[in-house]
Structure 1
Amino acid sequence: MKGSVYKRCNCRDQDTGRLLGRRCPQLKRANGSWNPRHGAWHIQCDLPRRADGTRRTLRHAGYLTQDDATADLLQLKTLLAIPDRSDTTSQVGLGDLIEHTISTDGRLPDIDTVRRALQTGTRLIGQPTVAEWLDQWLAGKRNLADSTRSKYAEHIRRHLIPHLGQLRLDRLRRQHIAAMIEAIIERADYVQAIRESGDKEAALALRGEKVTGATTLHRIRATLRAALNAAIREDLIAANPATHIELPSPRRPRPLVWTPERVRRWAADGTVPGPVMVWTAEQTGRFLDAILDDPLYPLFHLVAYRGLRRGEACGLHDDDLDLTAGEITIRWQLLGEHRTPTLARTKTESSDSTIALDDDTITVLRHHRTAQAKRRLAAREPWPTHGLLFTDPDGQPLQPGRVTAHFQRLIPPAGLPPIRLHDLRHGAATLALAAGVDLKVVQAMLRHSTITLTADTYSSVLPQLAKDAANATAATIPRAQRQ
């Protein structure tokens, strides 16, 4: 391909008004050297013909020095030499890419990027930004659980688009993703430090902002990696830069029991020894006794006894109960923190299962059914036909976020140390293990996908349970004397 470097300006002939271009006498000094204060350097080069066969020539201006223009002309000729001359499709695509990149970015395409794209068969032109691709990818996902879609959308909205969205998809590199991860970690450290500093004014400014932990970082990376894998299948990129990003190892929080010593320390200075705390059997009983008259007592009783997740309890339908057989079937979950709740199927086959009920829980649920039937008959407005077992007083679906807030308000009057609503589920598992229930049975009750997950989650309480079992076994052996 022919090419040239030249200098011109926008001066006009005083008589004709025509542009002088390369003929302007001010372009050179009296000694014949180029005048650096007048005009600009240009390059001109023939490009491969368009798909319709018409010729095209690239003219690009704005270079301050001849060397800059010469370097770009050399880069242009290197680009044009990459595809095989017999590969007409690649030749046309490269010409389109060069024209597009010059017109939009004001610069030539990267040589290595073009070479890699031609070698792998990825698209040369029409590349979306990361933000555009993420939105397109999520919108095109089919058969996605509502909760999963919500998490993907949150990762995209809160983290991926703010940090990476402006980049063109094929120019996303590992260092961009690493910089995003570092920024997220720094922000999380800052938020945590402010909240622990005692500065109420600064903490108030951060109210509602979540601290992004290691587990969430892995999920954000997983969302990005899934979207980029889809881009590879669409021939938009050749490799996934999110594949080998190093992240801090997530630590699964282990449940800790509110022992008497821990309760005394909490009462003295407010110390909560871990993120996941569970009540003892006696503390759980005190809580349930204290809320017997609360409208949501049956729901909290069910979670505390059988370990349902919040969404599963809120999404339980009346026809999911078989009180004669003494079992419930988990099929639905009610999702939503501070917006209109959404009813969705449980995410996995392991979550969708039948759970046996104890006699106390059967009695509680039978009484609840009777009370709900009375409210339905007494209602002035038509009772909703959704079939949910637990509802607001007017029959509307529960708002899961409000259920959590209500639970937190019930704890202080009961005189108990704090736990989360989800910790009632952990407590159900811990109490079952303490009662001697086999780990495999607890796994089935919690609907964990593997017994390893159950054992790993409750590893902090299993050693004490094993010791108690050993002492119980030793106590059955009659001894005349003990050392």
Structure 2
Amino acid sequence: MRISDIRRYHIVAFFDELADKGRGVSTRHKILVVLRAAFSSALLDGVVDVNPALRIPLEAEKPKRFEPWSGEQVGQFLDVAVQHRLGALYEVAFLTGMRRGELMGLRWDAVDMASRTLRVEHTRVQATTGIVSSKPKTDSGERTVTLEDAAIGALLSWQLRQRADRALWAEAWVDSGYVFTMENGEPVKPDYATRLFETLRKRAGLPKITLHVARHEHASLWIAGGGDVTQLSKRLGHSTSRITADLYVSRVGDADRVHAERVASMIPRASSHTPHTQSV
């Protein structure tokens, strides 16, 4: 059809047809965004008088439910992972909540063992043209992450392993400066880290999750342990704490209930109310 001939009812019918063909809600929303942008451009150019892609009735996208591993399952995975040369990579992933690209872009000059912190300053992500190295996309993405004993221990152990690799490869060693590297010193490729995670997950016999979910696992355990959501937001590199709260709303609610019960338990009472169900 000519763009000037397209009316709203044409677009509604088009999306009804997409739904009948089994196209998902998320896909239809993405298509609608493209159509709206195209008609907005045509409107500015005077090709059409109105944007017929506005106010198209689409069912709302349902947020993906996050079903995390338990702390015991994370421990089970890491017990298997540490038997692999790159096990420390996954220890740091679960213990810091860093994104895959941030882990792949982490350099030793951004790790301060003395102050027990690391700085997220670079990312390495897989693109269609290859691996792209850059700074985090937002100001909140550039941040300092505190490290506790287990994370420090994993990094120190990995550092010793990397030094052994350097000695073994001698002049053939590639001094890339990255924390997580292959045997010859070249940085680990993002897709390889993901494939290895899946291999180790199967080896541990655990339910399917992705490497990216390790970030959500960290957040879930942080909240369950009573950690502050605002601090978690900064730790994860979210632009606002509202984003963090929205992502983990069920976990925040569970944690609030636990801490509220702890407060109540700290108040001694001669008698207490016992919840009960009254028949009407």
- Which ranges of structure 1 fall in alignment gaps of 5 or more residues? 1-166, 190-211, 255-275
Identical-residue share of aligned pairs (%):
33
Change (3 A) 1:237 1:323: farther
Confirm or deny that 1:439 pairs with 2:250.
no
2 CA distance for matches of 1:404 and 1:341? 14
**TM-score if structure 2 supplies the norm length?**
0.82
Instruction: Return the TM-score normalized by structure 1.
Output: 0.50
| Secondary structure of residue in 2 paired with 1:355 | strand
Q: 1:399 aligns with which of 186, 189, 193?
A: 189
TM-superposed CA distance for 1:361, in Å, is 0.9
Q: 1:328 aligns with which of 109, 118, 128?
A: 118
What secondary structure is seen at the aligned counterpart in 2 of 1:421?
A: coil
Aligned to 1:251: 62
What's the counterpart of residue 221 of structure 1? 32
Q: Which runs of 5+ in 2 are unaligned?
A: 275-280
SS in structure 2 opposite 1:398?
A: coil
1:428, distance to aligned residue in structure 2 (A): 0.6
Are the aligned partners of 1:316 and 1:390 in contact in 2 as well (CA < 8 Å)?
yes
Q: Provide the aligned C-alpha RMSD in A.
A: 3.0
Distance 2:31 2:121 in 1: 27
CA distance in 2, matches of 1:373, 1:175: 66
The alignment status of 1:370 with 2:160, answered yes or no, reads: yes
What are the superposed Cα offsets for residues 134-167 of structure 1, whole Å, 9 maximum, x if unpaired? Answer: xxxxxxxxxxxxxxxxxxxxxxxxxxxxxxxxx5
Work out which structure has the larger RCO, using CA pairs closer than 8 Å and 6 or more positions apart in sequence.
Answer: 2
Matches of 2:80 and 2:55 in 1, distance apart? 52
| Alignment-derived partner of residue 69 in structure 1 | none
CA distance in 2, matches of 1:469, 1:396: 46
Contact 1:252 1:457 in 2 (8 A): no
Report the Cα offset of residue 176 of structure 1.
Answer: 5.2
* 2:224–2:255 Cα contact (<8 Å) kept: yes
- Deviation per CA, 1:170-206: give whole Å up to 9, x if none: 555545544554444344x3xxxxxxxxxxxxxxxxx
- Superposition pairs for residues 49-448 of structure 1, below 5 Å? 170=4, 173-175=7-9, 177-187=11-21, 189=22, 213-233=24-44, 237-254=48-65, 276-336=66-126, 340-379=130-169, 382-384=172-174, 386-448=176-238
Read off the aligned partner of 2:78 and give its amino acid letter. L
- Inter-CA distance 426–232: structure 2 relative to 1 (3 Å threshold): same
Q: How far apart are 1:325 and its partner, in Å?
A: 2.3
Find the aligned partners of 1:381 and 1:176 in 2 and give their Cα distance: 66
Structure with larger Rg:
1
Counterparts in 2 of 1:382 and 1:431: CA distance versus 1, 3 Å: same
Tell me the distance in 1 between the aligned counterparts of 2:112 and 2:239. 24
Query: Are the counterparts in 2 of residues 337 and 399 from structure 1 also a CA contact under 8 Å?
Result: no
The amino acid of 1:222's aligned partner reads V
Structure 1 residues 328 and 225: CA distance shift in structure 2, 3 A: farther
Give, in whole Å, the separation in 2 of the partners of 1:434 and 1:288.
19
Give CA deviations for 1:269-324 in whole Å, capped at 9, x if unaligned.
xxxxxxx2212222212221222122232221122111112222222223232222
Amino acid at match of 1:324: A
